[in-house]
Amino acid sequence: MHSFTGLLALAASLPAFTSAVTFNLVDDYSGKTFFDNWDFYGNYDNLTNGDTTWVTKANATSKNLAEINSAGNAVLKVSTDTVVWNEKRDAVRITTQKAYPLGTIWITDVVHLPYGCSVWPAIWTLGQNTQNWPNDGEIDILEGINLNTNNQMALHTAPGCMHSTSVTQGGKSLQANCSVDAGCTVQDPDPKSYGNAFNQAGGGVWATQFTKETLVSIWFWSRANIPASVTKLASSKDAITSQDDWGTPTANYPGGSDCDLTKSFTAQKLVYDITLCGTWGGNPDFYLPQCSAQGPTTGAAACYTDNVVGNGSNYANAYFEIKYLRAYIDPSAPAVPGQNTSSSGGSSSSNSSASGSSGKAGAGVAAAPPITMAFLSSVAAIVIGAAFASLL
C-alpha cells in the first residue's frame, strides 16, 4: 500500500513550470491536411487483442472512418456496418510518421471522445523502434474503457522506474511501478475528463510536456477551463513562451532519484486509436460490472458477443472528433536522426520510414494474449488502488 501514501501530500508547493520557456510550433495537424503524415495501422489489433481491424488509409477513406467534418475537425470512427460472429469490426489507429524528441510539448484539442461498453480509445506515444517496447517508453495521455468516467494516464518503461509518491499533481496515483502491465497510472479526478460528461462539456484540451528538465507532465482542461494562453496559441503560430496560467499538471512524472526517465524514453510518435474489448476493456473483471446489461452472455466472450457482433448501431457515438494536434519544440532539443524538426506550421516534411505498421505495445497493458498472471495482479492493484482512493 506504500504506493498510495503520497495521495494526501498533493497540495502545497507550486511546480517549477513558471520559468521562461520557448517552444516553437513545428507541426500543426488540423483542418483539411490533418490526415497528412500519419501511418494507418492496416492490420487487425494484434497488440491488445481487441476485436478490431485497424484499417488501411485507403479503407479508412473509402469507408468514411477517417474524415474531416463540416466543422473542419478530424473524425476517427468505429464502423457501424453489420458484423457477423467470428469477424472483427473496423476501426482506426493512426501514428505520426514523425517522432518528437525530449524537448517537445504536444497539445491536442478534442471535441468528442469515443466511449461506451466495449469501447477502448487512447491517445498515447511510443518510440520509433516498435520491436524495442517498452524500453523506448510509452506515455498514455488519454485512456478509458467501457463506462469509465475518468481518464487514466500512465507511463510504461523498462523495469526500474517508480513514480514518485510525493509529486505535485492534480490526479491520483493508482500504481507507482512503471513496468507493471498497467504502467504507473494516474487517474484524473475531473469527471469531465472522459466519457459522456467529457462530450457534454464540449470536450477539452490535453497538453503533454516531454522535456529533460521536467520529464513528463500532462495537463487536462475541460472546455470551460482552457487557459487563455492556450486558447490564444490555437489561433496563431506563436511559440509557447509562458505556462504561467497552466496550473498544476494533472499527472506529473518528474523522474529524479527513483528513475532516470531520460534514459527510459527515446523520441516518441503520437497515436490515436480505438479498439474494442481486448485485454483491458474486454476483461470480464472490468467489463461485466459496468456492461452486463448489454446482453445475456457471461464470461470472457460477453464483450465481443454482446457488442461487436451485430448491426453496429451501438457504435454511432464511438468516435474521436479532433480540432488539432500541435507539436511545439524547444529549439535546443536534440535532432531526431533523419528528421527535419525545424519546420514551422502546416504539415511538415517527414522523413521516417512509413511502413504502415507501428507499435508492439498496446495502450495501457502489455501486448500478447493470453492474459498473464502478472496482468491480473496489476489489474487487482488498480482495483484496490481505485477503491482505496475513493475512501480518501
Ligand X SMILES: *[C@@H]1O[C@H](CO)[C@@H](O)[C@H](O)[C@H]1NC(C)=O
197 membership: H or E segment, kind and range: helix 195-200
Q: Minimum Å distance from CB 287 to ligand X?
A: 17
Give the relative orientation of helices 373-391 and 284-291 as an angle to the nearest 10 degrees: 50
Taking CB under 6 A as the criterion, the residue among 10, 25, 55, 75 binding ligand X is: 55
Q: Cβ(190)–Cβ(94) under 8 Å?
A: no
The residue (of 92 and 205) whose beta carbon lies closer to ligand X is 92
Q: Does 256 bind ligand X (CB under 6 A)?
A: no
Q: Cβ(280)–Cβ(365) under 8 Å?
A: yes
- Catalytic: which of 87, 138, 213, 321? 138
Q: Minimum Å distance from CB 217 to ligand X?
A: 22
Q: Minimum Å distance from CB 180 to ligand X?
A: 5
Q: Minimum Å distance from CB 136 to ligand X?
A: 15
Q: Is 87 a catalytic residue?
A: no
Residues 6+ apart with CB under 8 A from 107: 205, 206, 207, 208, 230, 233, 234, 324, 325, 326, 328
Q: Cβ(73)–Cβ(113) under 8 Å?
A: no
The residue (of 15 and 295) whose beta carbon lies closer to ligand X is 295
Q: In what order do the strands lie in the sheet with 89-91?
A: 43-44, 52-54, 89-91
Taking CB under 6 A as the criterion, the residue among 88, 98, 326, 360 binding ligand X is: 360
Q: Is 143 a catalytic residue?
A: yes
C-alpha cell at 238: 506563436
Q: Does 274 bind ligand X (CB under 6 A)?
A: no
104-112 and 93-96 beta bridge pairing: unpaired
The residue (of 250 and 348) whose beta carbon lies closer to ligand X is 348
Q: Does 347 bind ligand X (CB under 6 A)?
A: no
Question: Binding residues for ligand X, per CB under 6 A?
Answer: 42-43, 46-47, 53, 55-56, 59, 159, 162, 177, 179-180, 310-311, 313, 338, 340, 342-344, 351, 357, 360, 367, 374
Query: Active-site positions?
Result: 138, 143
